[in-house]
Structure 1
Amino acid sequence: VANPIKIHYHEAFRFAPFSTMVDPDRVRELLLAETESNFPEEVAYLFGKQLKEADILVLNKIDLLAEAEVERLVSVLTEKYPEKDILAISARDGVGVDKWLDILLSGRPGANTVLSQIDYDRYARAEAVLGWLNAAIRISSDQMFAADKFVSDLFVELRESFKQEKGEIGHLKSVFTSGGKSFWVNLTNLASDPMLSGEPMATLSRGSLILNARVQLDPDVLEKIVRDVLAAVAERFDVKTEIDDLQCFSPAYPNPPHIVRETVGPEGKSEEELS
């Protein structure tokens, strides 16, 4: 996306350094193969490409790691990607975030990496493994209810249903909004518990939930699980849910309209034209 824009619209746009946020568990699972993975090899291939195309690799969740493990993972990433900036942050606690933002706002040209070799068959198989679900849901009740407990319970029930179907989680995340405040809940694999962050909320009677899921399931199965679990948890909390929008699918085979195989500078020039 970035390089065709640089070529055709370089006078209108300037790219900041491009960051890829890295989960420590995914590094150990997909990059180092230190932990068991339920994903096929193609997912590790795609993960590697996502790391390779970044200008900055941002190792997140360091608040959950021992200092020695942070140092080890940073060292591993530095060794494998010596041309990248490697940062370690805690988005939850704010540690390292200022340094990251300073780089993004420095004016340094970004989106400088071109993936000259991509196996689109492997890429497509990796994406097709996951069902993708996006949903917008309105939640209301005649009584006050604890929204954080509702969403956390929803995530636990979804996790258990995915386990029964042997559907590994790529990611499961949500944002709940009410009265101008928001909190977030996310879950990154079947072995973890939901993590909540954001603004604390008292009990309330209504709000909206945006749900985003990437799960190793057929889209029809994924959609049915989400609808069934949402209905069951809503009944338990005595709340009403109205799905304003829900899309569930597997991505089509990638067919990029432009392929750029040489790095494009901020002035829009490349040694090789668009193919």
Structure 2
Amino acid sequence: MLNTTSKTNLVVIGGFLGSGKTTSILNIARYLVSQGKQIGIVTNDQGSQLVDTQFLAQAGLSVLEVTGGCFCCNFDQFAEKLNQLATSQMPDYILAEPVGSCTDLIATIFKPLQTKYTQQFTLSPLSILADPKRVKKLMMEPETSPFPDEINYLFRKQLEEADVIVLNKIDLLSEIEIEAIHSFLKNTFKGIAVITTSAKNNVGIAEWAEIVTSRHASLNPSLEIDYKTYATAEAYLGWLNSSGLLEASVPVDINALVYELLENLKAQLQVSHYEIAHLKIYGIAESDWVKASITSVTDAVDFNRRMAQPANHVKLIINARIHIEPEILKPLVEEELAAIAAKNDMDVKDLRTECFKPGKPVPKYRIA
């Protein structure tokens, strides 16, 4: 592993929305803790009220977040959070999770950190997670992709600048499929290491951890990227972050409520031909919690964890990244939540929702 006597190792783990970054970060953090390492985490989003932050904090990890924009556009806030963790927690490794629609990380994060914070941090290899479903769509583009060409462009750019591509969710694939996708990635993105993992089943995590803890970032030449196309890709997606309290006089099966909410939203979006990039719900009641998500209108609901028993007080957080206008997305989610709460004789209280399209990425620094 890298020498951490005087510096904190920064491990950036990127990847498109729905690739399994947060579950992967949780498992690699747990692995490193099992090896006697201290871990800090920085999450990131265009808005606030993040499922990821709550989920990782619930696991007992030290988590700070950068909200209101990506790491590159909020570089000073990102550096502040890194320094805060480094000085207060003194971790061996900080795991940083950029926004899922973010790319050009070498030029806008790695090289500025190398220039300005060389005494504080050692930069580990840049990992980019890839969902096999999205890679399959890339393999068959443009005929079958449900997203505009600009989003596929963004996904390609994410993969192009990786030190290591992590093909996640291999538990959903046959051996033949794994071999075909692995071969496509190796042949398309030449010179980049490709490994396979299943974060859900904790497969391949030790091998991945060995790579990011024993090597340095390559700091290859910065991407050749068209920021106009990049901005268009981000603007295709409506972003929604919503949180509220659900209360009932008798305990309710929250797992069933979350499942029905996700299924109903998926059905409405599918009928109207809106594609899901990522839709996830996190519910917490005292020490019990549930987390479930969908990454396509053709997906089944995937539970990361279910509540052990019914509850009559639950905090619910909803994060949605969908190819839809915000003025359509917000009432759709709020009305469906109200309907399902009413069906279960629950009151929705203190509901806070932000819904928007991300602005044009304007990095504070970009070093070619």
Cα drift, residue 231 of structure 1: 0.6
Aligned residues of 1:28 and 1:34 also touching (Cα < 8 A): no
Matched, 1:63 2:171: yes
* Residue number in structure 1 paired with 2:197: 89
* Residue number in structure 1 paired with 2:356: 249
Higher mean alpha-carbon deviation, 28-37 vs 87-96, is at 28-37
* Residue number in structure 1 paired with 2:282: 175
Check 1:55–1:210 CA distance in 2 against 1; reply closer, same or farther (3 A cut).
Answer: farther
Aligned residues of 1:31 and 1:44 also touching (Cα < 8 A): no
* Residue number in structure 2 paired with 1:23: 131
* Residue number in structure 1 paired with 2:312: 205
Structure 2 residue corresponding to 1:47, chosen from 146, 155, 165: 155
CA distance in 2, matches of 1:202, 1:43: 40
Higher mean alpha-carbon deviation, 39-48 vs 84-93, is at 84-93
Identity over the aligned pairs, expressed in percent?
32
Matched, 1:139 2:253: no
Aligned residues of 2:161 and 2:223 also touching (Cα < 8 A): no
Cα drift, residue 243 of structure 1: 4.4
* Residue number in structure 2 paired with 1:8: 116
CA distance in 2, matches of 1:73, 1:158: 30
Check 1:49–1:171 CA distance in 2 against 1; reply closer, same or farther (3 A cut).
Answer: same
Aligned residues of 2:255 and 2:306 also touching (Cα < 8 A): no
| Partner secondary structure for residue 260 of structure 1 | coil
**Counterpart amino acid of 1:239?**
M
* Residue number in structure 2 paired with 1:239: 346
Higher RCO by CA contacts (8 Å cutoff, separation 6 or greater): 1
Check 1:225–1:181 CA distance in 2 against 1; reply closer, same or farther (3 A cut).
Answer: same
CA distance in 1, matches of 2:142, 2:196: 20
Matched, 1:75 2:75: no
Unaligned runs of 5+ in 2: 1-108
- Give CA deviations for 1:72-125 in whole Å, capped at 9, x if unaligned: 11111111123222111111111112211222233x222734433111111111
| Partner secondary structure for residue 153 of structure 1 | helix
Number of positions where the alignment pairs a residue of Structure 1 with one of Structure 2: 260
Check 1:161–1:45 CA distance in 2 against 1; reply closer, same or farther (3 A cut).
Answer: same
Structure 2 residue corresponding to 1:122, chosen from 225, 229, 242: 229
Structure 2 residue corresponding to 1:153, chosen from 256, 260, 278: 260
Aligned residues of 1:135 and 1:243 also touching (Cα < 8 A): no
Aligned residues of 2:279 and 2:293 also touching (Cα < 8 A): yes
Give the TM-score taking structure 2 as reference length: 0.67
> What RMSD over aligned residues (CA atoms) do the two structures have, in Å?
1.8
Matched, 1:163 2:270: yes
* Residue number in structure 1 paired with 2:103: none
Cα drift, residue 198 of structure 1: 2.2
